[in-house]
Structure 1
Amino acid sequence: MKIKNSVIWAMLFMAVIASGQSPYISVTAEKGDGVYSLLRKQGVDPYETFDDFIALNHENLRDSIHLYEGRTYFMPSTDSIPVVEDLKEAKPKSENAISYPIFGNKYAEVTTKSSKLKGTVYYLISGHGGPDPGAMTKFGNVYISEDEYAYDITLRLARELIAHGALVYVIIRDEDDGIRDDRILEMDKDEVAFPDKTIPLNQVARLKQRVDIVNELHKKHSGQFQRLIVTHVDSRSKGQNIDVFFYHHAESKNGKKLAENIHSTFAKKYRKYQPNRTYSGTFVDRTSLYLVKKTHPAMTFIEIGNIKNKKDQKRILEPDNRQALAKWISEGVISDFEEGEIGPIR
């Protein structure tokens, strides 16, 4: 059974060390390693064992979450850790594993984790795309753009929600990108709007297209629990470091609750993994935004960070961080659904 309580992990760890009988494998972090990549190298599922790893090694981590190059870290007991298989060659083993090509070869196969979101419908929109790359900045000798990183996080979120039983519509989609484990995501302009509509060049036409698609699908799924999540990356001055923050419709009780639940999840994660800093992300109403104002499902609009700020760039450039963002958002989504609807308003 997987142990999640860090205090118990620490007590067990000290006990086995004192007895001279350690079931833990020690590994050395190399340049460029993150927690997820280190776990992945050892052939274990990084998403299932992340919390256990942090609990075992919390005194040897920078900001309670980052590795130090050249230091030794302990892996949780392999007796209870699921082995990661190469998804490029994987084939469905049972009715609980389904392949979704949009996630790319490596991540196409999605195994059911639970039925917590059974009966729900989620619409996911990543900002910009097609002829509009969104916010851009130069990183080293190359340019990076908002649409590519928002899309990667959105795909990772979609995969998490599907694994818990949700029906998910990825509204802005790039069939040949998939989930990418690169720091620099190559820019292109071949994104389309669900199912295969060309994205207009005109900004208002682009936004209206997305609104029309979501509202038509919302009508199709009338009577079901439906939510919309829009993901963007902000652009501000280079010196402005911002935390993840959320918008919702001023008159949408359920939209506010969704934003609040995800925001609360982020606050808890920061307290756990970065106790030495304060999470300053907010959730506020901003009905003036076109998508917030015009779409019918209860929704939240997420700004991931400032693409021009070096600290915020780490949040989006590192694939492990993009996965963590998706995981945390999904946990907030699950919490929101488990609390249920608040009245009939949006």
Structure 2
Amino acid sequence: MPGLGTDRSGERQVRKQPKPKKRSGAASRRNVPAKKTAKTGRRPLSGAVFYLASGHGGPDPGAIGRYGRFLLPEDEYAYDVTIRLSELLKQQGATVYMMVRDPNDGIRNEAVLKLDKDERAYPNQPIPLNQTARLRQTTTAVNRLYARHKGAYQRLITIHVDSRSRGENIDVFFYHHSSSAVGRRLATHIHRRFQTNYRRYQPNRPYSGTVSTRNTLYVVKNSHPPTVFIELGNIQNRQDQRRFVIASNRQALANWMAQGILDDFRSR
């Protein structure tokens, strides 16, 4: 698995702008194979339930970064990482609900992801433009499903891309509610995997991403399952943009999240 920002083939993709194409989860299956336990035949995440919510969508693209003459919409990149993570978790036996779905977009490997507005909210609802209405729509759906799966290991992971000044290079950050020890534990497990993988793949680059509380975030405050809110980087910063435009880096983000999630499930 490549380190973030190191894939030379990804650089060629950026220059050539290959023709967009839809992909299945084949690449992610090669990266994190689903294994069954020897004694039970169950896959490692059997019985776990995950709600994955990529930021924004529909009429709201979220933050917009500029990449030469191209625009980088937050919702498209957050969605691509989220659907990659969804595939990995399902291959491990988990039940996964994508709280935002795009009927036309699977996993995509082009560098610049086309902005569209046809995403739908679970189960198949139009996404409102109003931010509070949109966030309430997500948490209401998650909380209803949470009640349906009462007693199961359930987690909500919401994935966003930050927007800061162009000169600010940031790492991946993880937020949880201060009263949720379980949410903190999940965030910490994923964070540790990021620390480990940065040491392995980019030993000369310190990793400064942190785990912290953010009680004011709507989904963190109002969702019933333990929740982790993830910021993938600064979509305005040239260096951080490599984390998004290079497809293998988006896959690495999903892989490392999946590793941390599996660590958390095993430690429950």
TM beyond 0.5? yes
2:252 aligned to which of 324, 334, 338: 324
Give me the whole-angstrom Cα distance separating, in 2, the residues matched to 1:329 and 1:152. 14
8 Å Cα contact 2:28-2:251 kept in structure 1: no
2:34 counterpart of 1:113: yes
Query: Which entry has the higher C-alpha Rg, 1 or 2?
Result: 1
Alignment deviations for residues 248-303 of structure 1 (CA, whole Å, 9 cap, x no partner): 01000100000000000000001111111110000001011001000000110000
8 Å Cα contact 2:25-2:84 kept in structure 1: no
Which residue identity lines up with residue 306 of structure 1 in the other structure? N
Which residue identity lines up with residue 336 of structure 1 in the other structure? D
Give me the whole-angstrom Cα distance separating, in 2, the residues matched to 1:192 and 1:327. 25
1:215 aligned to which of 143, 148, 154: 143
Give me the whole-angstrom Cα distance separating, in 2, the residues matched to 1:137 and 1:128. 15
The residue correspondences of 1:304-315 to structure 2 (distance < 5 A) are: 304-315=232-243
1:261 aligns with 189
8 Å Cα contact 1:241-1:309 kept in structure 2: yes
8 Å Cα contact 1:110-1:162 kept in structure 2: no
Which residue identity lines up with residue 256 of structure 2 in the other structure? W
Which residue identity lines up with residue 300 of structure 1 in the other structure? V
Structure 2 alignment gaps of length 5 or more? 11-20, 36-42
2:88 counterpart of 1:167: no
Alignment deviations for residues 57-102 of structure 1 (CA, whole Å, 9 cap, x no partner): xxxxx99x54599xxxxxxxxxxxxxxxxxxxxxxxxxxxxxxxxx
Give me the whole-angstrom Cα distance separating, in 1, the residues matched to 2:91 and 2:75. 24
CA deviation after TM superposition for structure 1 residue 110, in Å: 8.4
Give me the whole-angstrom Cα distance separating, in 2, the residues matched to 1:300 and 1:132. 22
State the TM-score, normalized to the length of structure 2: 0.88
8 Å Cα contact 2:100-2:120 kept in structure 1: yes
8 Å Cα contact 1:148-1:185 kept in structure 2: yes
Identity fraction in percent: 50
8 Å Cα contact 1:123-1:171 kept in structure 2: yes
Which residue identity lines up with residue 34 of structure 2 in the other structure? K
CA deviation after TM superposition for structure 1 residue 137, in Å: 2.0
2:51 counterpart of 1:123: yes
Give me the whole-angstrom Cα distance separating, in 1, the residues matched to 2:27 and 2:74. 27
CA deviation after TM superposition for structure 1 residue 106, in Å: 3.6
CA deviation after TM superposition for structure 1 residue 107, in Å: 3.2
Alignment deviations for residues 169-227 of structure 1 (CA, whole Å, 9 cap, x no partner): 00011010111000000000000101110111111100100010000000010010000
1:183 aligns with 111
Give me the whole-angstrom Cα distance separating, in 2, the residues matched to 1:258 and 1:159. 19
Which residue identity lines up with residue 107 of structure 1 in the other structure? G
Divergent runs of 4+, >3 A: 65-69, 103-112
2:156 aligned to which of 197, 205, 228: 228
- Calculate the aligned-residue CA RMSD, in Å: 2.2
Give me the whole-angstrom Cα distance separating, in 2, the residues matched to 1:68 and 1:325. 17
The residue correspondences of 1:149-160 to structure 2 (distance < 5 A) are: 149-160=77-88
CA deviation after TM superposition for structure 1 residue 143, in Å: 1.4
1:16 aligns with none
2:125 counterpart of 1:197: yes
Give me the whole-angstrom Cα distance separating, in 2, the residues matched to 1:173 and 1:301. 18
Give me the whole-angstrom Cα distance separating, in 2, the residues matched to 1:277 and 1:209. 39
- Partner of 1:210, secondary structure, is helix
- Partner of 2:230, secondary structure, is strand
Give me the whole-angstrom Cα distance separating, in 2, the residues matched to 1:159 and 1:179. 9
- Partner of 2:108, secondary structure, is coil
2:171 aligns with 243
Gap change, CA 1:133 and 1:67, over 3 Å in 2: closer
2:65 counterpart of 1:137: yes
8 Å Cα contact 1:110-1:163 kept in structure 2: no
Give me the whole-angstrom Cα distance separating, in 2, the residues matched to 1:261 and 1:235. 25
Give me the whole-angstrom Cα distance separating, in 2, the residues matched to 1:331 and 1:214. 23
Structure 1 alignment gaps of length 5 or more? 1-49, 55-61, 70-102, 341-346
- Partner of 2:49, secondary structure, is strand
Alignment deviations for residues 217-242 of structure 1 (CA, whole Å, 9 cap, x no partner): 00010010000100000000000000
Counting matched residue pairs gives 248
- Compare relative contact order (CA 8 Å, sep 6+) and give the higher one, 1 or 2: 2
